[in-house]
Amino acid sequence: MGISNFIGVIFAICSALSYTAENVLSYEVRQVCHPTLILTCNAFMLLVCITITTLLMKPTFGALDSGDVSLIVFAGFIGAVAHVAFAIAIFTIGAGNATLIFYTEPIFTICISVPFLKNLFKWTDVLLAAIAFSAVAVISSPSVLHLTPDEDHANDLDIRGVVLALFGAVASAGGLVATKALSNTGVHISILLFSYSLNYFLISCLLFLIMQGWDMPQNISLFLLTFVSGFAVFGGLLFKFFALTKEKPAIVSVILTTEVFMTYMGDLIVFDYPNHWTIYVASIMIACSCIGVILTHEQPQETEDSENRGILADSRE
């Protein structure tokens, strides 16, 4: 098999790298900025980048029916909600706890893909998702077991954070499946990106106003980083959507778990942040899940897409 057969996997890895860059760029900003300010600045830069990209791509809307339009809006909204929910969960219950809960996403993705995308149930997908989630659990365990006083919030805040992270995982899985369904019908990727970025910006602005996130960092360079990290979010989103046009959502979801390991390693390299031994164990587990994705890789996606389009055409007739 040529490298073209693995282009979806490559796109997913590039997406994880981009999101890792966003996490590293925002590391210091998170210490001094209100979370809704970071979200709003990120969302604004993302919307600017995607608007320019959409204009350059000049997408054609083709014969979109009301069902397609509704699904485009839903996919953008649910994906944006997932992003915001995860971000707020991080500030509520700590990065380790939020990450551990959020990366149950591959399991939810498989559960949703089977009925809605008519994907065949495969035990190998479940096994790979379980290995990836276990790796995230291993990485997060030091944070879960050794909370600092600042991270150990009151019980009411803890339960809210848990609910937000879990809801974010389910919403993210739903967004992946909805995006895949739309890509199978031939909807231009820039339309999906614009729907996501617009919803993300509107939700972030609303939360910013409700939660009064006016706390600005004293250092102007830190404030500018909130916008610069928006470029990284743009790259992560773009590569993720490209990956979904080539691969099953379950596969993309498993590959994206590499973001956790790469973020920890980025903190070590850039900030000399000490890492726990569990990170290295988890990195081996994540590598095994990704190698498993490659070894169990099936037919090129173009064949699968053509079959899906045929099924959709038959159902519409």
Split at pLDDT 50, 70, 90, the class of 260 is confident
- Position 303 scores a pLDDT of 41
| pLDDT over threshold 80, residue 241 | yes
- Position 61 scores a pLDDT of 67
pLDDT, tens digit (0-9, with 9 covering 90-100), for 91-125: 777 666 677 678 778 888 888 888 887 766 677 77
Closest by CA to 254, choosing from 295, 226, 215, 308, is 295
Which tokens is 2 given?
């040529």
| pLDDT over threshold 70, residue 315 | no
How far is Cα of residue 229 from the mean position of the Cα atoms in its chain? 15
Residue showing tokens 């009925």 = 115
Per-residue pLDDT, averaged over 17-31, amounts to 78
Q: Decide: pTM greater than 0.85.
A: no
Per-residue pLDDT, averaged over 298-304, amounts to 47
pLDDT, tens digit (0-9, with 9 covering 90-100), for 64-77: 777 778 888 898 99
